[in-house]
Amino acid sequence: MSQLGFGVDVGGSGVKGGIVDLSTGEMTHDRLKIATPQPATPDAVADTIAQIVKQAGWEGAVGVTLPCVVVGATTLSAANVDKSWIGTDTRELFARALPGHQVNVLNDADAAGIAEDRFGAGKDAKGIVILLTFGTGIGSAILNNGVLLPNSELGHMEVDGMEAEHRAAASIKERKGWSFEEWTKEVSLVLSRYEALLWPDLFIAGGGISREYETWIPMLTNRTPVVPAELRNTAGIVGAAFAAENGIAP
């Protein structure tokens, strides 16, 4: 494994990237960031990624996270980016935008899950680790002894007649003005359904609300331990870099 890798994390508001020390999961320099182009079409986003790679002076493989389901290097959904991403062949796209670079593309939550499992809150865990990012929706990543099950989309699982993220996303708490106690009842329900289906050994809670973990994680009543994510804003970059250097692709 190369000691250094390069990852780029594409979000709805910013495209962030940088060089990662793959022995520690730490970034070697401050991350680079460019505002996500609007509209966030494949060509516009690919050109922005190319700018970041050029600014960093990076010449090797590049890992890229996208807010999309990715199967065989083709994007099959699009969240917070232009709908023209649906059906895009990313191999062809990045062959044009980043000639001379091998580019590996994966879902953004999957990349964060890889990073947390390898370098963060799950690094000492065995068995099934599930990362859940609580934000506008619920993103998810499932790993079994370090092996990724890609594109899990657990936020869309039906829980008592409603999608899980429509019950327990952080945005629902804000929209309804719930207290943490009210919100964690819904989170506990959702986690218990995931437990019944997958029998995980550890949940890792990410998203902005995880910064307040001391307030709400102790209120949860599900069976499986829940711990806060550790890498936070760098997780996508780190996971993308690791995946690129290790040939992890959906």
Domain limits, the chain: 4-110+233-246, 124-230
Name the DSSP class of 31: P
Q: What angle do CA 84, 9, 73 make, to 5 degrees?
A: 50
Q: What is the pLDDT of residues 97-138, one digit of tens each?
A: 999 999 999 999 999 999 999 999 999 999 999 999 999 999
pLDDT recorded at residue 2: 55
15 three-class SS:
strand
E-strand ranges in the chain read 4-10, 14-21, 26-27, 32-35, 62-66, 70-71, 74-75, 88-89, 103-107, 128-134, 138-144, 147-149, 158-159, 162-163, 202-206, 226-228
In the three-class reduction of DSSP (H, G, I as helix; E, B as strand; rest coil), residue 192 is classed as helix
Q: Which of 244, 246, 1 is nearest to 104 (CA)?
A: 244
Tell me the C-alpha distance between 121 and 178, whole Å: 27
Assigned CATH class of 124-230: alpha beta
Tokens representing 212 are 């307040």
pLDDT at 249: 80
Running DSSP on this structure, what letter comes out for residue 166?
Answer: H
Pairing of strands 74-75, 70-71: antiparallel
pLDDT value of residue 250: 77
Q: What does the pLDDT profile of the chain (250 residues) look like in tens digits?
A: 459 999 999 999 999 999 999 999 999 999 999 999 999 999 999 999 999 999 999 999 999 999 999 999 999 999 989 999 999 999 999 999 999 999 999 999 999 999 999 999 999 999 999 999 999 999 999 999 999 999 999 999 999 999 999 999 999 999 999 999 999 999 999 999 999 999 999 999 999 999 999 999 999 999 999 999 999 889 999 999 999 999 888 7
Judge contact between 180 and 219, C-beta under 8 A.
yes
Q: What CATH architecture is 4-110+233-246?
A: 2-Layer Sandwich (3.30)
